Amino acid sequence: MVPLSTVIRAARHRQPLQQRLGPIDGLVFEMAQGPANAPLAWGMLAGLVLSLMFVGIVRLSVPSTIKLVTEPSGVEVVVDGVSRGIAPLKLKDLGHGRHNVELRQDGFQTKTLSVDIGAFAQSSYLAKLTPVPPKVELPEQKPQSLGEIFLTKAPEPVKTSKSAKKAAVTHARKPAGVRVAAR
C-alpha cells in the first residue's frame, strides 16, 4: 500500500511510481494529475456532484401529504398559525421541515402536534382530543375575621339534675379496681 501523500506528490510532479497501485490509489493518482490527464475520472466526479445536488433540490421542493383523522370529527386544523379546514383532512401542499399542527374544538382541550416532514413522505395521524372537565362552582362564603373566629362565645353549659351531678362526682372519685357498694 502506497501512502496517499506519495501518490498525490507523484501525480502533481508527473513522476512515475515504482509500486503497483490499487483501484482507489489509481483513481486518486489520475484525479491529482488534473482533468486533462484523467477525463473519465473527472467526468465521474462531476456526474456524482450533479446527482447529489439534484437529489437535494428535489427533496427540498417536493411537497408531502399528511392525513389527519380526529376523534371526535369536525375539529378545526390550524397549521403554522393558518386555519386549513375541518378534520378528517388531507394536507397535500406542506413543504419540507417541521410544522406545528393545532387541533381545536369547543368543549375539548386544544391539542398541538409537532410534525416533521421529509420529501415524498405520506403520513397519517389519529388524534384523540380530551374533553374539558366541567367547572365545579362552590357556594360563595363570606370570609370570617379573626375576631369572629377566636372571640366567639363559649357554649352554654348543659343543665343537669342533682342526682346526675352526684353520680358524676362518685364515678370521678372512685379509684381504679374498687367497687362502690350499692346503697
Query: Average pLDDT for residues 121-144, to the nearest whole number?
Result: 80
29 versus 135: which is more confidently predicted?
A: 135
17-21, 33-37, 89-93, 166-170: least confidently modelled range: 166-170
Q: Sorting pLDDT into bands at 50, 70 and 90, what band is 136? A: confident
What pLDDT, in 10s, does the model give residues 82-99? 898 888 888 877 777 788
Query: Average pLDDT for residues 48-55, to the nearest whole number?
Result: 78
Domain 64-128 has what CATH class?
mainly beta
Please check the confidence at residue 182 and state whether its pLDDT lies above 60. Answer: no
- Evaluate whether 125 touches 69 at the Cβ level (below 8 Å): yes
Dihedral (Cα; 58, 60, 64, 70), 10-degree rounding: 170
20-29, 140-149, 153-162: least confidently modelled range: 153-162
CA–CA distance from 114 to each of 52, 68, 76, 123, 125 (Å)? Answer: 29, 13, 16, 13, 11
Q: Which cell is 56 given?
A: 437535494
Please check the confidence at residue 47 and state whether its pLDDT lies above 60. Answer: yes
Look up the pTM and report it. 0.43
In the chain, list all ranges with CATH 2.60.40.10.
64-128
34 versus 86: which is more confidently predicted?
A: 86
Q: Sorting pLDDT into bands at 50, 70 and 90, what band is 78? A: very high
